[in-house]
Each structure stands twice: as structure tokens, then as C-alpha cells.
Amino acid sequence: MRVVGIETEYGVTEPGNPAANPILLSSHLVQACRVWLGNSSTRWDYGGEDPLMDLRGMRRQRRYATADLLTDSPEYSDLNRGVTLRRRRGSWEDPAHLNAVLANGARFYVDHAHPEYSGPEVTSAHDAVVWDVAGDRIVLAAAAQMRAQGDDVALYKNNVDGKGASYGTHENYLVTRGVAFDDLARRLIPHLVSRQVVVGAGRVGIGTHGETPGFQISQRADYIETEVGLETTLRRPIVNTRDEPHADRRKWRRLHIITGDANSMEIPTYLKVGATSLVLSAVEADDDRLDVLALADPVAEVGAVSRDLTLRHRLRLASGEHATAVDIQRALLTIARDYASDAEDTRVLERWERVIDELGREPLAAHRDVEWVAKLRLFGRMRERYATVGTDGRSQVPTWDDDRLRAADLQWSELGSGLAARLSAAGAVERVVSDAQIEHAMTTPPSTTRAWLRGRMVSGRRDIVDAASWSTIVLDRDAEHGHLEVVALPDPHVNSHPLVDALLAQTGPARTHTRG
């Protein structure tokens, strides 16, 4: 079972007020989420975070770090000890309005100018979808709480603002540290470049500002500038090198993938996680069949694939041969078959093959499974509807820079009421999870990882939980002396801990949960 997780930064606006400060809106949303949770007071524990460590075996000096890398706190935990004591310090205090640790094991917080939901650790593609969509529902509940308090807000699950800015939907995969990083990057890059034909969300406009009329497959493609790198907001790489495992670094890496789109449909999220996890299994097994897929110029091919709606573009391989993105995905599917370990992997392979076959025959045939295809199909109908008759009597279809199409691109991803949500409600796209599963996941953590302990402690023992992080739970049981106990959870697979289990078995104050 590979531990995986998804982080989503949402676009945020205040309807009717284009000058609204997104940082303030984001902080108000997090605070509203705390109220929705019953005024949860659990803070985020920044101990142990070091975003300046690089998978290539170096650490960037702080003075050379970009703003997106400075997310750590001055104080660090020792994750090699089971329980440690930390004295409360003012410099370590986390502003409550910036973070909320959720009962489902997730984190909801302000990440620069965006509200971000970081889903809990899960062990299957199916569960990744469940807790990802649960995050959307939680954010909507927080927005409703804001409106009840007199503040309006609109949220978008996309990656571009149409003004040159891009924000991320990041995937995280636990990978064994035994694989040489250069091999990991080289063998994974062909998948990350080609998979957009399967999991891209689609975008109106070409170029970082959408300055060229057109429609493309991926929202993130125009913002990828290098093959590997540490940054996430500047010089964005295909493979991010941040070495912050949130686990025992002697055993694991946390591969942080930033090239993916935010998906409003479930199948792309399912395949994004499931297929990538299987390809990583092949990488960990040192499968040299992956080497023949190495690309000659990966960065250039990211944009070339995204802009070819026919899927006929032939990527140049390092060997001098050429292959389409669909060809590469089919080759990866063949390799991945040898690494299926359970029924869930088999289901991923079956769905992956079905989508590849649909795209290979006729891209538009994949409209129920592939988001960019569903969007292109719907927007094509809009263009026909908006067509006018010219002086020569011929139908004139609006070009892709038409403001109505740009607006529709934004409306596609609006949480709750967007075009994608309407298609799903109408049964026009495929799903992989049920509303009942999502409702359950809004308040319940996954039971197969340490998120089970984090979520249950945050909800059931808030009387003694001071803070939490991915790999720690900070307890405040010594109010007289002001000491805090840090329970270390360095193994993401472990869903049991003697002290935590004992504390959960004790009677704590009833958890209150209010909905705005």
C-alpha cells in the first residue's frame, strides 16, 4: 500500500468586489471553518518542517530561498523519539486564523494568497478521491458559514486566474529512499509529461496570461519551466525536489508533484493518483523498460502535448524515435500491469486502459471520463449556440478569446454550482465514489494511516490536544508547568500508538459540530 495525498489551493474571490484581498478572504474562510467545526482550537505544529532540504542531497541557504519555501517555523521536533517535551514559546505560537486541523485528518490553512485543503494520508486511489472531494465539501461548508456571518465568497477549483498567476494542486507519494533521485526523475518524467491527455482539466487560452486564443489540455502546462527544481511558484519544475518526507527520512521520500491540474471530475483524480503510483512501483523496482521512454526535451513537450487537441503530436524521445502521448501512456500501462498488487490496482488499470482506448479511437468519445474532453465538448456546443450569421450568409463561430468562453472556463470549476458540478449532478460524467462516502469522510479520517490517530484526537480529545502536524500530535497535559508532549508518528502506515490509543479510550468532552 503506497501512502498518497492531495493538496488543493483554491481560487478565491469576493463577488462584486474585485479589489478584495485574497489573503484576508482566505484567513476569514479558515476561521469560518473553525466555527463550523465547533470553534476548534488545535494549532498546526511546524516542528520538523524543513522546506529548504533538497532531494539532490543539499540544503538551500535561507537567504537564497524564495517566499514559497519559507513555510517552516524556527523550532523543530526530534522525530526519532517517541514522545518528547517542548516548552511553550511565544515564537512558536501559530496564528489560529491561519490553520485548522480537521477531524478527518486533513489540514485547512492559508497558503500565501489561497485557502488550501491538504487531504489526509490515504492508501488507495479510491480513497484519495473520497477525501479530496470531501475537502471541496468542507470548503463549501466554511463558505456557507462565512455567508451566515455576512461575508460573501466564491471558490474555484482551478489553477489559473487569467491574469498570469497559477496556483497548485499537488500530489504526494511516499517513495522508498533507496531509489537514486536521478533515476527517479528520469524514469518518471515521461509519465508526468504525457499523462495530461488522461488527467488534464482543460483551459481556455494559451500562454501564461492566456494571451493567445485557443483551448489546451492542461491548466499548468504553460507554467512549467524546468525539469527538476526546489521551487513551486517560480521556475516551476516537472519534478519538484523538496525533501520534506514528514516521515522517517532514513526510509522514505515524499515525492511532491506540482505539475497536475485541479480536477473537478472524479475519474481524472482517480487515474492521476492510481496510474502515477503504479509507475512509481516500476521505478522502485528498477524496471529498465522505462528507459526507452526518456524524452529528448521534456519541458518543451509539456506545452506541445497540452496544445495538441488531436493527440497526434509525436514527442521526440532521447533515442531519436518519436511517440505520441497516448503511445507513451499505453507503454506505461503495459509496464504497470506487472506491479498491480491488489484489486484496487486492477481497477485502476482497467479504467486507465479504457480511457487510453477511447482517446486513441476518438478523443471526444472520452467525454464521460476525461475532464478536458468534457469541457471542450461543452464549450464547443456553446460556440455553436453563440454563432452569428455573417453578411455572406455563413455561420460565424466565436473565437476562443470570446469573453463568454473565458467566463465559462472560470464557471466550470466553481465549487458547488459550477458547470462541472452540474454535469456531475446530471449524471453526464462518470464517478468512482458515492455521496455517502464523501459525507462520511468530511468528519472521519481514513483508517489505514496515521491520519486515523490525528483526526480522532483532534475531534475526540481536544481537551488535551494543543497542536498537530503530519508526523506529530502535541499534547498539553501539564498546564501547571507549561510543558507540551510531542507524540512522534514517523511511520505514515501506522494507525495505532499505545499512548494515543489509551487517551482515546478515556472519556473526553463531547465533540460539538455545528453547521452554518
Query: Known catalytic residues?
Result: 111
Gap between the Cα atoms of 376 and 210, Å rounded: 16
Gap between the Cα atoms of 215 and 361, Å rounded: 21
Are 167 and 273 contacting, i.e. CB atoms less than 8 angstroms apart?
no
Q: Which positions ≥6 away from 389 have C-beta within 8 Å?
A: 395, 396
Q: Which positions ≥6 away from 154 have C-beta within 8 Å?
A: 12, 13, 14, 15, 143, 414
Gap between the Cα atoms of 268 and 424, Å rounded: 13
Cell of 315: 514527442
Going by C-alpha positions, the residue among 497, 388, 394, 502 that lies closest to residue 451 is 497
Cell of 166: 497559477
First to last CA, the chain: 37
Are 317 and 295 contacting, i.e. CB atoms less than 8 angstroms apart?
yes
Q: Is 502 helix (H, G, I), strand (E, B) or coil?
A: helix
Q: How many residues does the chain have?
A: 516
Element (H, E) at 328: helix 325-336
Would you tell me how many other CB atoms lie within 10 Å of the CB of residue 492? Answer: 27
Amino acid present at 492: P
Are 303 and 311 contacting, i.e. CB atoms less than 8 angstroms apart?
no
Going by C-alpha positions, the residue among 360, 404, 359 that lies closest to residue 378 is 404
Q: Is 120 helix (H, G, I), strand (E, B) or coil?
A: coil
